């Protein structure tokens, strides 16, 4: 029998205050914590339930940014017209997470704080240049998502902080974005490799901004800076995209595990790189400005 205190917080301030007093952990959807709890792999003096804090659940557009509350569920993201318009790769990604029941409970903040290298929401957020808002008893601070992860299951989040939201600039002009992943099976699969891309074109259909990010291909989700540098300021024809895809390995450090070998992941990364860039470019070229 595990001896653990349960506290249901009614507000953000109450949750942070109780966190300081109890040295516990936050519980939102519970889709990561409860399986660990059942297996006996979870230990903490207290669980602080934040699932009923309404002002952690929102999707809104404000001051040139789209902002998502940390308590927003994957189902809410999947069904959002605003995100389908401005973050289609994110919507594509959350629709591959688990089963409908998991998506109805699992939260955006939980997916980020779990810091899995395979987290499906992270590559889309990285290519959107997302910024996290964290809050502690000392107030709020902003952190670029690319600086948040430090290793498998590890982040810069300190024990007294709560993720409040994530936001990204509203894309404009001619742009496109896409997410794709490979898994052992179609349903409820942890990704063997995943990738997302964001492409912006100038008035001459030249790439003036390109971001690509990967999951399950390094100790943390990572950006593909070498690929980005190779294709920027180009028209990116098929040959150039194929050549860029071969360069993705310079930014990746895949491991071999029960799901795939490192060599397989490298080959998968090349395929995914070409795929997400081509789809993103097609969307950008066909966008109505």
DSSP for 18-71 reads: HHHHH--EEESS-TTHHHHHHHT----SEEEE-TT-GGG--EEEETTEEEEETT
Q: Do domains 54-169 and 174-285 have the same CATH topology?
A: no
Rg, C-alpha atoms of the chain = 19
Rounded Cα gap, residues 51 and 40, in angstroms: 23
Listed as own residue / partner, the contacts of 150-155 with beta carbons closer than 8 Å and 24 or more positions apart are: 150/220, 151/115, 151/219, 151/220, 152/115, 152/116, 152/117, 152/219, 152/220, 153/114, 153/115, 153/116, 154/115, 155/112, 155/113, 155/115
**Residue 227 and residue 243 in contact, taking contact as beta carbons nearer than 8 Å:** no
Angle at the Cα of 45 from the Cα atoms of 40 and 47, rounded to 5 degrees: 85
Q: What topology is assigned to 54-169 in CATH?
A: 3.30.465
Q: What topology is assigned to 5-49 in CATH?
A: 3.30.43
Answering whether pTM is above 0.75, one says yes
pLDDT (tens digit, 0 to 9) for every residue of the chain, 289 residues total? 467 888 899 999 999 999 888 888 888 877 776 666 666 666 677 888 898 899 999 999 999 999 999 999 999 999 999 999 999 999 999 999 887 888 888 899 999 999 999 999 999 999 999 999 999 999 999 999 999 999 999 999 998 899 999 999 999 999 999 999 987 655 556 789 999 999 999 999 999 999 999 999 999 999 999 999 999 999 999 999 999 999 999 999 998 888 889 999 999 999 999 999 999 999 999 987 6
Domain ranges of the chain: 5-49, 54-169, 174-285
Bridge partners (DSSP) listed for residue 181: 194
Alpha-carbon separation of residue 111 from 97, 99, 103, 162 (angstroms)? 10, 15, 11, 13
How distant is the alpha carbon of residue 96 from its chain centre? 12
Counting runs of H as helices and runs of E as strands, what totals does the chain give?
11, 14
Select the CATH number that applies to the domain covering 174-285 from these four: 3.40.50.620, 3.40.50.2300, 3.40.50.300, 3.30.390.50.
Answer: 3.30.390.50
Rounded Cα gap, residues 154 and 108, in angstroms: 17
Burial of 266 (0-12, 13-18, 19+ CB in 10 A): middle
How distant is the alpha carbon of residue 109 from its chain centre? 9
């Amino acid at each position: 029998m595990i001896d653990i205190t349960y506290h249901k917080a009614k507000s953000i301030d109450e949750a942070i205050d109780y966190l300081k007093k109890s040295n516990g952990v936050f519980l939102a959807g519970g889709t990561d914590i409860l399986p660990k709890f059942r297996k006996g792999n979870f230990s903490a003096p207290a669980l602080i339930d934040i699932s009923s804090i309404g002002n952690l659940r929102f999707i809104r557009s404000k001051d040139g940014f789209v902002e998502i509350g940390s308590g927003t569920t994957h189902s809410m993201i999947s069904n959002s017209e605003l995100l389908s318009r401005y973050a289609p790769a994110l919507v594509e990604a959350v629709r591959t997470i688990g089963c409908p029941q998991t998506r109805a409970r699992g939260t955006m903040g939980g997916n980020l704080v779990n810091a899995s290298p395979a987290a499906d929401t992270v590559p889309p957020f990285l290519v959107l240049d997302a910024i996290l808002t964290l809050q502690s008893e000392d107030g709020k601070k902003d952190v670029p998502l690319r600086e948040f992860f430090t290793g498998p299951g590890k982040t810069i989040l300190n024990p007294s902080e709560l993720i409040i939201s994530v936001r990204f600039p509203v894309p404009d002009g001619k742009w496109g974005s896409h997410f794709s992943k490979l898994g052992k099976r179609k349903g409820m699969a942890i990704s063997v490799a995943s990738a997302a891309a964001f492409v912006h074109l100038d008035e001459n259909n030249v790439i003036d901004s390109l971001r690509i990010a990967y999951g399950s291909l390094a100790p943390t989700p990572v950006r593909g800076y070498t690929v980005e540098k190779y294709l920027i300021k180009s028209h990116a024809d098929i040959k150039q995209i194929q050549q860029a895809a071969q360069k993705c390995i310079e930014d990746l450090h895949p491991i071999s595990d029960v799901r795939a070998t490192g060599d397989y992941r490298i080959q998968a990364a090349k395929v995914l790189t070409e795929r997400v860039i081509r789809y993103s470019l097609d969307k950008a070229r066909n966008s109505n400005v």
